Amino acid sequence: MSLAIQTEKLTKTYGRKARGIEDVDLAVEEGEVFGFLGPNGAGKTTTVRTLLGFLRPTGGRGEVFGLDIRRDSVEIRARVGNLPGEFALEDKMTGEGLLAYFARLRGVKDLGYARELSERLGAELHRPMRRLSRGNKQKIGLVQAMFHRPPLLMLDEPTGGLDPLVQEEFLDIIEEVRAEGRTVFFSSHNLAEVERVCDRVGIIRGGRLAAVETTETLIDKSFRHVVLTFAEDVDKEQFEALSGVRDLEGDGKRISFTLDDGLDEMVKLAAGHTLVNMEYERPSLEEVFLTYYERENGEGR
């Protein structure tokens, strides 16, 4: 399969003290949704800016659709819809005016798809930017990245500031983009979001690519926070004895713990009592990162 993004030992340094990225090897296939994950300061934004030619690499090489990121940055950006993590829009312009301006720059004559996206996301197109909330500015940012149907979307925290219903609509749009054979490269801190739409996930830490996993593998390496509430007092030592349980707290009718594995064993033990309620919560991505790195390094928690 053809590659939308390919890098070999891509490196960007800012000097001896400032961290950038080092020896990043990426291969993103055309038509896939690729999640790029890591803690703040890990190198996600530096990678994206280097791929788009906003930063010049210190070493290594990179291509986007076979175009060299050093020589062909202008042509690359013509094929990309980009939403930075932080962006500024002209305060006095309305969303409608801004999209019309971008359409002229990109040679797009029909704004039908832009209006469709705006309606689906609930973007306010007729108010000046300075009067819009962060969430409404984010909607305009998303529309400007997608309205020209680019073959590659590069989105940094695209759902930040959006309410849950709009997030769901956005994820529906991403699935439609993939169905059209276009490629999406985006960073996120929402594990459920990543699980739903990403085919593969790259994890970056300290400027280095730690791993590239399928989404299923990443989820399998995570754990769950569990809270059990019973109708009667239970002996918490029964649950502490389970191999997959750690950090157990509480006593009597309510206990909470972290479950690494052994779900079936835990459920069977709980079913031996009158269970009133069970909360089974996914960890945050930060917690997944921590657990992943500890397992890779052979460290305990």
Q: What is the pLDDT of residues 159-188, one digit of tens each?
A: 988 999 999 999 999 999 999 999 999 988
3-class secondary-structure state, position 169: helix
pTM score: 0.80
Residue 301 has pLDDT above 50, yes or no: no
Asked whether 152 and 80 are in contact (CB, 8 A), the reply is: yes
User: What residue spans define the domains of the chain?
Assistant: 3-220, 224-281
In the sheet that 200-205 helps form, which strands lie side by side, from edge to edge?
80-83, 152-156, 183-187, 33-37, 200-205, 208-214
Shared fold status for 3-220 and 224-281? no
The model's pLDDT over 64-119, given as tens digits with 9 standing for 90+, comes to 999 999 999 999 999 999 999 888 888 889 999 999 999 999 999 999 999 999 99
> According to DSSP H, which parts of 73-185 are helical?
73-78, 95-106, 112-121, 134-146, 164-179
- Mean pLDDT, the chain, whole residue set: 89
Give percent above pLDDT 70 in the chain: 93
The model's pLDDT over 241-281, given as tens digits with 9 standing for 90+, comes to 998 899 999 988 999 999 988 889 999 999 999 999 999 88
Place of tokens 């950038």: 20
Q: Find the length of the chain.
A: 301
Question: Which letter, b or e, does each residue of 223-248 get, where b requires 16 or more Cβ atoms within 10 Å of its Cβ?
Answer: bbbbebebeeebebeebeebebbeeb
What's the CATH code, domain 224-281?
A: 3.30.70
β-strand pairing of 3-12 with 59-64: antiparallel
Averaged pLDDT for residues 116-143? 94
What's the CATH code, domain 3-220?
A: 3.40.50.300
Residue 191 has pLDDT above 80, yes or no: no
Burial status of residue 275 (CB atoms within 10 A of its CB: 0-12, 13-18, 19 or more) = middle
